[in-house]
Amino acid sequence: MESLIKNKPRSSALVTQKDRPTRIHIINKHTGEIVNKKFVTDPQFTFHYINAYELDDQILLDLSSYDAKHFNVENFSYENMRDGKLMNTDKLKALARRVKIPLGQNSNEKDEIYCEIKTINSDLAFELPVINYWRYNGLPYKYVYGANHYSNPFSIVKVNMENPKEVYEAKYGLDGFHALPSEPIFVENPEAKCEDDGVLLVMVLCEKNDFLSVLDAKDLKEIARADIPQEVKGAFTFHGFFADQLNFRNLA
């Protein structure tokens, strides 16, 4: 509200407090009831969640997050992004992490329950995560895709959550032209035989000409590319979606 009144950017309302824990609230999707337990984990800043599902008496929550000691949303200014001042720094490095929320642990109303948080792969910068959402949202899953905007060459990456050292990567800009891939969009094979049977659609901004890159979701090899005329330039965006049919009435 203060930002609206004083004509400040909404980013001014996003403050990271590096010495305060991250609080987790659990809500029953069927009843709307809030679980009356105080779950906390280490300080962090999260834009995007990967997936969450129940396993035995716990919830496994996977997310892409920044270290609260280094992250400040106001660092993401136009000047800093254009000049590359954040490249290869912890200010820009998001990592895939897993939080274990112990539902079965008893506690008094005033007690805080600590939730263990671990980094999936500390060597892999990871943002804009995507899974085979329509089939595995809220369920155990194996593969997650994301974007590396931390260091050049920028790339799209795939991680096996059961074996995080198994990583595939599609790099862009290796031909000498700067390139910036968008969030990958997973499109399942209509006759899919496994979780990663499909393609990734990646919109790539390039100083030569922008293009749509189509990757095999199994090994991230490019199987097709649709070039956009040089006089037509795209704009960087976080999110997109795929629809085999578009009904504009449903979008109203």
- In this structure, what are the phi and psi dihedrals at residue 78, rounded to the nearest 5 degrees? -60, -45
d(CA 38, CA 110): 8
What would the two tokens of residue 237 be? 């965006």
> Element (H or E) spanning 250, and its range?
helix 248-251
Residue 48 labelled as part of a binding site? yes
Nearest to 202 by CA among 158, 155, 246: 155
Residue 25 labelled as part of a binding site? no
Nearest to 128 by CA among 105, 100, 149: 149
CB atoms within 10 A of CB 98: 18
CB atoms within 10 A of CB 176: 8
Annotated binding-site ranges: 48, 239
Binding residues for Fe cation: 48, 239
